Amino acid sequence: MISNKIDKEVENIIFKIISKKNINKNKKLISSGIIDSLKVIEIISDLETKFKLKFSDYDLKLKNIDSINSIKKVIKKKLKK
């Protein structure tokens, strides 16, 4: 999968779950209260299904999943393995 396609797929999954499309991709989603723990679980589950991968405990650290860009970075890193 090319990088732009991965970006778009990740964004589509996140935007569908949080019901917003105009969020700065560096905005803190969890820390700012945009999403709660249940939405985090839903996002992670959908991403794992879509990209056929599993998030490790390290991947689930706040710094790795608190923004759209940080989530994209984790996905791309996992897909390179």
Q: What is the pTM of this model?
A: 0.92
Using an 8 Å Cβ cutoff, are 68 and 23 in contact? yes
How far, in whole angstroms, is CA 5 from its chain's centroid?
14
Q: For the chain, what is the total number of helices (H) and then of strands (E)?
A: 4, 0
pLDDT, tens digit, for every residue of 27-80? 999 999 999 999 999 999 999 999 999 999 999 999 999 999 999 999 999 998
**For residue 10, what are the domain limits?**
3-80
- Calculate the alpha carbon distances from 70 to 7, 11, 37, 64 in Å: 11, 12, 17, 5
Identify the pLDDT of residue 1.
Answer: 53
- The CATH number covering residue 33 comes to 1.10.1200.10
Total count of domains within the chain: 1
